[in-house]
Homo-oligomer: A and B are copies of this chain.
Amino acid sequence: MILRSHVEWALHCCAILAGLPEGKYLSTKALAEFHGLPKEYLSKALQALSQADLVDTTLGPTGGYRLAKPTSDITVLDIVEAVEGKARTFECTNIRAANPCRPAGFCDAGPCAVARVMWAADEAWRSSLRNVRLSDLVATVADDVPQDVWKSTGAWIARRAG
């Protein structure tokens, strides 16, 4: 099992959009260049963010993306689920139903105990991601990145914004 690369892309793009000057937009082209990613494919991840209402978009020469809400109102889980879907990572195919010792027509009262354990772990994973806001993430990144790089990155974004 492995998460799609879109998750890494979407999270980094949101972190960049967080540094965008008020009211401006940043294009797919700029985001792809910045991260060294294939523009057309990155576009699919950004479309997913748009469909999840995490970002606003506009068309035309100065068009692109910007965050639709304050960074403190967006969680990492919001972003992950936007590109990866909300479906559980464990899928029960109900193999217990094949038990030859069951009476004919036997009907289970609820989900299998195995599935419940796996789903609880899935929820722990989601809960962990839900507890980190985009604002927290950006603050951590800002802490990690040397000040001069951080500053010139902000300038780069402002320069490419439309």
- Listed in ascending order, the chain A residues whose CB lies under 8 Å from chain B are 1-5, 7-9, 11-12, 15, 33-37, 76, 84, 87, 89-93, 95-103, 106, 109-110, 112-118, 120-122, 124-129, 132, 137, 140-141, 143-144, 149, 152-153, 155-156
Contacts and interface: CB of A to CB of B under 8 A. Distances in A.
A117 B98 contact: no
A3 B117 contact: no
Given A99-B149, A101-B156, 20 more contacts: A1-B1, A1-B84, A2-B87, A3-B89, A3-B90, A5-B93, A8-B95, A8-B115, A11-B117, A12-B95, A34-B98, A34-B100, A36-B95, A36-B98, A37-B95, A89-B89, A109-B144, A110-B144, A113-B141, A124-B124
Which secondary structure dominates chain A's binding surface? helix
